[in-house]
Amino acid sequence: MLRGIFTLRRSELEWFYQEGCSWIFPEAFEDYLRPIPPAERGDLIAAYYLRLTDPDPDVQLKAARAWSAWEGSTLRLLPDPKVVADFEEPHKALALARIHAEQRDYAGALEVMERDARTMRGERPFVFTNLKTGHGLKDVERFIESEGMLVSKT
């Protein structure tokens, strides 16, 4: 399943996590804002990053669940409450939120995202790609061809 494509440009991150996607999902965005005091909302990614790296596990989990619920709420035009609840599961929420919040500092460093994806996905497969270098692209093409039934399996 292809969930989305981000080139990790600051403008894309700001559209999704700061303002833009909020116009499409205003109720979910209000929930996403809730853990962040109004004075810190000028850079939501930075505000969440501070909480996700806080030494207090309760602070981390509260932020992770809100961040991940936002992610789960925006997967479909009509949010699926079961998907949102799954994204709020503590183990998954922490891994997912950290993967995405770290993008601001690591500019999409695949090794950081891979570490956290392994935590979140366990044994299930995943592939990260870098379209600038072509890294991982052939794996995605093979998957789309075989699983998307573009190539006969006989």
- Return the pLDDT at 1: 41
Indicate if the pLDDT at residue 116 is higher than 60.
yes
Alpha carbon distance 150, 45 (integer Å): 39
40-44, 110-114, 119-123: range with lowest mean pLDDT: 110-114
Identify the band that residue 126 occupies on the pLDDT scale cut at 50, 70 and 90: confident
- Return the pLDDT at 70: 94
The model's pTM? 0.67
- Return the pLDDT at 65: 95
Contact residues for 39 (Cβ-Cβ < 8 A; gap 6+): none
Residues in the chain, total: 154
